[in-house]
Amino acid sequence: MDYFISPTKGRLDLDQVFTDLMAYVHESPESDYRLIVGTDSQVASDTCFVTAVVIHRVGRGARYYYCREHEHSVKGLKQRIFYEASKSLELASHLAHKLSENGYGDLNIEIHLDVGENGRTKELIRDIVGMITGTGFEARIKPHSYGASKVADKYTR
């Protein structure tokens, strides 16, 4: 992940994203926050993967950032879904480390997965959710996984 795009701030590296996340939290420290990471993909001549980071000030708005990567070698639905989850997991782990280094270890990170009970991904739910929760993160699936199915999905096309 070379850089992220913020609709309001433009192109940012991961350290700048983290700084902006923390500034957003400091604007209203009494609020409740959800930090969300989700990845979605779209297959064309190659596969476009978009990973989104969302800081949701519950009941009072949100900010998000996304990065886009293209892969040529990802074939098949199962491989693509596991790759999406691993991309989210890698970024969430990095953010969790930065949060704990900066005294925000209590801010939980949710990983939003592009799988659901309806559709071709339903047989993957148990394995994907187990992979995420086994590393200590919360996992959300459709229809509650808007970080992947709405935010990231918006930028895969």
Give residue-wise pLDDT tens across range 17-72. Answer: 999 999 999 999 999 999 999 999 999 889 999 999 999 999 999 999 999 999 98
Where does the pLDDT of residue 91 fall: very low under 50, low under 70, confident under 90, or very high at 90 and above? very high
Domain count, the chain: 1
Q: What is the mean pLDDT of the chain?
A: 95
Domain span at 129 = 4-154
Answer whether residue 75 shows pLDDT above 80.
no
Name the phi and psi angles at 109, rounded to 5. -110, 130
Q: Is the CB of residue 87 less than 8 Å from the CB of residue 156?
A: no
Helix, strand, coil percent values for the chain (each to nearest 5): 40, 30, 30
pLDDT for position 73: 83
Query: What's 28's domain CATH number?
Result: 3.30.420
Q: Tell me the β-bridge partners of 23.
A: none
Comparing C-alpha atoms, which of 133, 134, 114 is closest to residue 124? 114
What pLDDT shows up at residue 2?
83
